Structure 1
């Protein structure tokens, strides 16, 4: 991947809900090759079995082994933190001729749902978007606030590497499959080879929770080039450390509220806290409201999500109980 000075000046990070959908489908189709996601796989498999929505088009578009993913399924993010709704608008706006060309470039037999998409992209892209929305609610959205927090932490970490060691350190620590050379990036792919020359639009770095241990490159001319790489710390996301509330704090504010405070080492939603503590969502919400009223919890909205975090007073209380 040959990069000019202009390309380097336009390197940026972005997060992509739609990419996480596509990458997670790959994990579901190859569960034996993805032991890192075992606990997520077990829960999502049950959720999908109970669903009656037809997801065949989405699953058929994600090949295994992954040789070529049609670019329209995961456009390069145009902003740092797009919503799923915004990315689905980009998906629905892909020109029909481009959709057909990407399907043909896959170089594999098409299923009946994919053939229908090829025949009528305008109609079938809307159907695909609805299927993705349903899949998202079952398989990704319950974990998305924690996933987004993890991805943001990764981007901050990579930014610090850039400050400390420049471009070489930033790229060389993305993955063992990525190395900076004098004339650009060398990216090792299992099924692809050749040289790509960027066109001055830069490179978007997209950390992903479902990508380990590989990387994905995107060079479709409709979008800026993208390099998707595995985020740090994914194992802790699916199998969080079981925390124990300090006895002294539990004696003062109650065991459930003390447990919620210990789980707020990073901002989390009510849904995520419910899952991690095994409380019902309603019970967790009541306790969080009481903690907020006492000045121990802060609240902020990120898009559709309400995230709770510890205040300085809560941090001081926990420090005293260590």
Structure 2
């Protein structure tokens, strides 16, 4: 490191390596996607993702979302994408966290980012943070549904595989192995994890028993140290092989049918709304008894749930069932 290069050092105490942990962060993926879509030429590895997403956002109002994810900055607000508190949070719960951010935290975060004066696009977060926050969450939800959700099952599978492998190395071989490959500008010396150079002022962070949260991200570019309170220290990084994530599997057609059978696949696809056994039978032309047998198997494997509505029993796909369909068709 030269004298002119800035660095962030996470200093580990006796217990910090034991408390190092991993999480998937839907809010960070959402934030990263705003940069990828606005700067498509800088991210050729995401070409297919960009092509698919760009066609879905033309009618969306994203002014507040883009304002809190500014281009051309060395620092940016963090309140819209705090590090997760659980290993694999749901996007609905994470958006609720953002909506519940104290107005004082929003104002302080914006002023920290722009000490010389807040730009026009971010003035609402200083002048009326509660209203601006509510509008931001609406835009984040619309952006998620249009851009991230169609790929989320595939993205989480990729990230879970990364976490499993790195966590095994952390337990079996210690920090030197677990921190290898986080990025070309990341170094571990047995006592500190150093990120250098970074597009921010140098910082020394004493983890002080908190451990470090490692967040693999499919869409984050480079390595993002997260060092500003009131959030715990974290490091976002991009795992290797992310370009393969978006590639179309030319053998995927019929994959769901091959896995669970043609009839069960057709029934699972039909259950995007609560539906009775009789309705499925009428739609498919199969016997009600046969449909009932397939529904029972799908329910036992956690792909559908049922509930009674008066004299009818209605079946609906679970999140796992929807994710299975999405993964087999994207």
Classify the TM-score, shorter chain: 0.7 to 0.9
Deviations 1:106-127 (A, max 9, x none): 2376443310111111121111
- Find the counterpart in structure 2 of residue 209 from structure 1: 218
Whole-Å Cα distance in 1 between the matches of residues 102 and 35 of structure 2? 25
Whole-Å Cα distance in 1 between the matches of residues 259 and 320 of structure 2? 20
Whole-Å Cα distance in 2 between the matches of residues 155 and 17 of structure 1? 15
Question: Partner of 1:224: helix, strand, or coil?
Answer: coil
CA contact (8 A) 1:243 1:263 kept: no
Task: Say which one has the larger Rg.
Answer: 2
Whole-Å Cα distance in 2 between the matches of residues 150 and 109 of structure 1? 40
1:218 aligns with 2:226: yes
Q: Identify which of 139, 148, 158 aligns with 2:156.
A: 148
Which is helix-richer, 1 or 2?
Answer: 1
Q: Where in structure 2 are there 5+ consecutive unaligned residues? A: 1-9, 270-279, 285-289, 305-316, 326-330
Question: Partner of 2:237: helix, strand, or coil?
Answer: strand
- Find the counterpart in structure 2 of residue 25 from structure 1: 34
Q: Taking structure 1 as reference, are residues 201 and 163 closer, same or farther at Cα in structure 2, changes over 3 Å only?
A: closer
Whole-Å Cα distance in 2 between the matches of residues 166 and 175 of structure 1? 18
Question: Partner of 1:182: helix, strand, or coil?
Answer: coil
Deviation for aligned residue 1:305: 4.3
Aligned residues: CA RMSD: 3.3
Question: Partner of 2:213: helix, strand, or coil?
Answer: strand
- Find the counterpart in structure 1 of residue 198 from structure 2: 190
Question: Partner of 2:121: helix, strand, or coil?
Answer: helix
- Find the counterpart in structure 2 of residue 54 from structure 1: 61
- Find the counterpart in structure 2 of residue 306 from structure 1: 321
TM-score (norm: length of structure 2): 0.74
1:173 aligns with 2:181: yes
CA contact (8 A) 1:298 1:308 kept: no
Q: Taking structure 1 as reference, are residues 242 and 148 closer, same or farther at Cα in structure 2, changes over 3 Å only?
A: same
**RCO higher in 1 or 2 (8 Å CA, sep ≥ 6)?**
2
- Find the counterpart in structure 1 of residue 3 from structure 2: none
